[in-house]
Structure 1
Amino acid sequence: MGKDQPLWAGAVVASSTSWSPAFIQELLPAAKKTSLLYHQSYLCLAKFPELERLIRSRAVETQLLFASSEAVLLKCVCTSDNLVQSLFPILKVAVQKDKSDIAVKYLDKARKWIKEIIDDVDELVKKYDEHNKAVAKTTSDIDTKKTETDQKIKNQTKEMNDLEAHLKKCQDDLTLNANRQCSVQNEYDNTNSNLESVVRSAASRNKGLAFLMSVVPFFGAIIGAIRERKAYEKDMAKIRVLENDLNRLSSEKSTLKQEAWRIQANMADIQMKLAMAKVELGTVPSTDHLEDVKCCLSRIQEILVQLQKFWKKVDVILKYLQEKTFVAEDLIDVLPEFKTEFLHSITVAEQVWKVFGQNCHKVNGIFSVQSKDAYKFLESSPSALSKEEWQIQYTAVKKRMEQIYSSQSAIEESSAITQ
């Protein structure tokens, strides 16, 4: 590979799923909703001690799994901090003093940190998969019991029929919304892929930009660096067009997600009203809340898989940097001319990784709360609650769920701007 195309220019970069260091924060609403959904299921089964015990068992398992998730996220925080506090300063020293052997040594150490995270996340994803199957089995058991008891009560009130009809309409609206979101997401991904191609092409023509790509796996920082260079006006013209398209699609995605959150909030209220009516009739309520628990657990599992892929790509980047840049002396060959650009790239990398570490720390804190305090409702049996006590807990859960929906809607509303 010649001087016009430096060896690190082909380094693998993160996909659109990790466009921003904040992608890990998508774990927050799923983690928060899970305990509330369990609490709702727990309250709805107040007259069925056998099913109540099943819910308690699954909820305790989830609580333990969240504790494991907390530990993995803490390791992400520590590793990000180590990259900022140790690796990047060492790389600066290597560039300044032409000490490629030091860089190779510390890159190898960083890759060992990352390998531990990849292995831990892999094990955690398997545990989520097994746990979700257990929740599915519990859902099936409750559905069987529900079928048996529903045979005993055939006459439903007009209110229940109206609620179920309303719930069916919400479900249809949510399905339509999901289909529209999928269509917009596909268009977004295609546009994003085109933007990545333009950015890669532009960065490959400049050694400093190419080096920046090798230490920063987020495209936003690369675009910012290109924007600062006057020689890339034609590239920036293409980038601006694609960014405008992405902003439009992001806005459309945000609108659809806000609509989905509103529908889900309405459905949650209807489901609780139906549950209350069926408890009064002596029937087993539906397993809608447990189905939502499964969705939340699946979403957490999906994001953990993204996290694992992200760290694998970072490992590939560091390995490439270690083997092709410092070991092959490619950096040293061009160092006198581009030392300032390389040092600037490392500084940008430090800033970006610091933000990623802060986001991991925020999510880690939520999992800490969820694994310790959010499941205290399991300490008492809903069967032992008076009607007034049951209503107090139901109202409290409903209020907290509405807060999650409203806060998430607000986040979606501003996402296009922040992105």
Structure 2
Amino acid sequence: MLTQSSPLLREVHSSYRYFLYRQKMSDSQEIVIAITPDFIKELLPSAQRTALLYHLSYLCLAKFPKLERVLRQRAVETQLLFGSSEALLLKCAATSKNLVSTLLPALKIAVEEDESILAIKSLEKARAWITEIVDKVGQMVDRYEKHNHSVASCSSDVILEKSLTEEKKAQTTTEIEAQEKAVKDLEDELKNNHQKIIQIETTIKQKNQDLYNHVKATSKKSNDGGFLSALVPFIEAVVKLFTKSDDDSEAAATVQVLSSELTQLSIEKSSLMSKEWSIHVRMTDMQLKLATMKIENGSIPDPVHLNDVQKCLSRIQNILIQLQKFWESVSVMLEALKDETFAKEDFILKRNMKATFLESINSAKGHWKAFGESCLHAKSIFSLQTKDAYKFLENSPSALTPEQWKKEYETVIEQLNKIDPDPFHYKVPGAPAAITQ
């Protein structure tokens, strides 16, 4: 039975916090003493934050499949670690219960009846039980430490991926700029080439007009204007006619010059037309490549979300350190309880010290009872985190639509904001009942 003035409360005040409140029953009132050990008061908010920060990080790794896979592994490891923590706390609670309900009472009877051999056997059995859970708690501390390193390694992977992504985006941007310049150069070349074609066509038109005027003037001089005028639309025929004619060698020479110039202009125009087609083909190819590069650049994930992931992982790492300290506290407490349980055991064979040893047993029972109830409380907290807290891992964040992603992200942030750091505000399902007076 615990009272406010009992030695037990004074002895464990540094390790446990107590508060009193009245609970009205159907036909009576009773004083309830609720125990909240310091070493578990941060456990629930820490465990809740861990799952939500993993969820937030997971969302921000959409389009980073490699990191998404690594983070999923770390989150599953954390979930399994919490499951192991739950099992170990249950074992701690069961050991405490066995000590309080069976072994320590048997030890007390053995001492009261001066059965020293039975008392020593009981002590050794208790020592073996406690040593076992002390060792297992030590192993749990090591597991948390190793897992903390794994999360730190994941954070390093995120930093590296962020660096590589930024480098890739910068490189791709440079390549896009170079490709855009190449396309622009081809567009300028095509424009210049087209202007040359227009100039040649203008010159050809002018030469044709000169040839027409020359043929017309020559026809009038030779009094054969009707015949030659009819041939004007057929420039090649006119040229041949003047080439074969010896009547006006000067006129024929002029026709040949104009004809040669027209031929040369036609050749140049043909060359420019071929060049124009070649430029069109190259430009089409470059434009397609540029479009592809821009699409690929858009598919390269923006590393801005990796900043959030890195921050979340750092917070998770700090929480895991706190949980590691929780188990270290359990280890320290176990050692202290172990010392308390076996205090004055040398007095077993000294009859005049029997009362002192019996008092030591009663004190140890109180400690172990409170410790067992605290372990059940902590076990309930870990149990909550091994059920649905990590259900988000079942779906890939890359499969979410932008609207779904935004809604889920905002929901996680809202849940994070709702976490109350005050441990007294929590009602944990399955928590042990308060110790009543």
Q: TM-score, normalised on structure 2? A: 0.55
Compared CA separation, residues 21 and 75, structure 1 to 2 (3 A):
farther
Compared CA separation, residues 348 and 399, structure 1 to 2 (3 A):
farther
Shift of 1:343: 5.5
Cα distance in 1, alignment partners of residues 119 and 160 from structure 2: 61
Q: 1:325 aligns with which of 347, 350, 361?
A: 347
Residues 350-374 of structure 1: CA distance to partner in whole angstroms, max 9, x if unpaired?
3443222111011112212212321
Aligned equivalent of 2:414: 399
Aligned equivalent of 2:333: 310
Cα distance in 2, alignment partners of residues 303 and 93 from structure 1: 35
Shift of 1:89: 1.6
1:361 aligns with 2:376: yes
Say how many residue pairs are matched.
Answer: 267
Greater CA radius of gyration, 1 or 2? 2
Aligned equivalent of 1:414: none
1:106 aligns with 2:122: yes
Shift of 1:382: 0.8
CA contact (8 A) 1:77 1:357 kept: yes
Cα distance in 2, alignment partners of residues 346 and 310 from structure 1: 17
Shift of 1:18: 7.0
Q: Which amino acid aligns with 1:388?
A: E
Q: Which amino acid aligns with 2:352?
A: D
Higher strand proportion? 2
CA contact (8 A) 2:337 2:367 kept: no
1:378 aligns with 2:393: yes
1:147 aligns with 2:170: no
Cα distance in 2, alignment partners of residues 70 and 370 from structure 1: 10
Compared CA separation, residues 30 and 378, structure 1 to 2 (3 A):
same
Cα distance in 2, alignment partners of residues 109 and 132 from structure 1: 35
Cα distance in 1, alignment partners of residues 303 and 155 from structure 2: 19
Residues 54-106 of structure 1: CA distance to partner in whole angstroms, max 9, x if unpaired?
11111111111112111211111011111210133223323432333332221
Compared CA separation, residues 14 and 325, structure 1 to 2 (3 A):
farther
Aligned equivalent of 2:315: 292
Uncovered stretches (5+) of structure 1, i.e. residues with no partner:
1-12, 154-278, 412-419
Cα distance in 1, alignment partners of residues 61 and 112 from structure 2: 67
Cα distance in 1, alignment partners of residues 422 and 13 from structure 2: 27
Residues 36-68 of structure 1: CA distance to partner in whole angstroms, max 9, x if unpaired?
111111011123222211111111111111121
Shift of 1:293: 0.8
Cα distance in 2, alignment partners of residues 318 and 147 from structure 1: 56
SS at match of 2:37: helix
Compared CA separation, residues 141 and 34, structure 1 to 2 (3 A):
same
Alpha-carbon RMSD across the aligned residues, in angstroms, is: 3.1
Cα distance in 2, alignment partners of residues 140 and 348 from structure 1: 49
Aligned equivalent of 2:212: none
Shift of 1:381: 0.6
Residues 221-280 of structure 1: CA distance to partner in whole angstroms, max 9, x if unpaired?
xxxxxxxxxxxxxxxxxxxxxxxxxxxxxxxxxxxxxxxxxxxxxxxxxxxxxxxxxx99
Cα distance in 2, alignment partners of residues 150 and 23 from structure 1: 45
CA contact (8 A) 1:66 1:367 kept: yes
Aligned equivalent of 2:244: none
Q: Which amino acid aligns with 1:126?
A: D
Structure 1 residues 83-92 or 355-364, which shifts more?
83-92
Cα distance in 1, alignment partners of residues 137 and 76 from structure 2: 21
Compared CA separation, residues 343 and 122, structure 1 to 2 (3 A):
closer
Q: Which has the higher contact order (CA 8 A, sep 6+)?
A: 1
1:97 aligns with 2:113: yes
Q: Which amino acid aligns with 2:410?
A: T
1:152-163 to structure 2, matched below 5 A, reads 152=169
1:219-298 to structure 2, matched below 5 A, reads 283-286=304-307, 287-298=310-321
SS at match of 2:304: coil
Aligned equivalent of 2:295: none
Shift of 1:349: 4.2
Cα distance in 2, alignment partners of residues 348 and 121 from structure 1: 23
Cα distance in 2, alignment partners of residues 381 and 72 from structure 1: 32
Higher helix proportion? 1
Percent identity (aligned): 42
Compared CA separation, residues 280 and 144, structure 1 to 2 (3 A):
closer
SS at match of 2:386: helix
Compared CA separation, residues 83 and 121, structure 1 to 2 (3 A):
same
CA contact (8 A) 1:37 1:290 kept: yes
Q: TM-score, normalised on structure 1? A: 0.57
Q: Which amino acid aligns with 1:380?
A: N
CA contact (8 A) 1:62 1:131 kept: yes
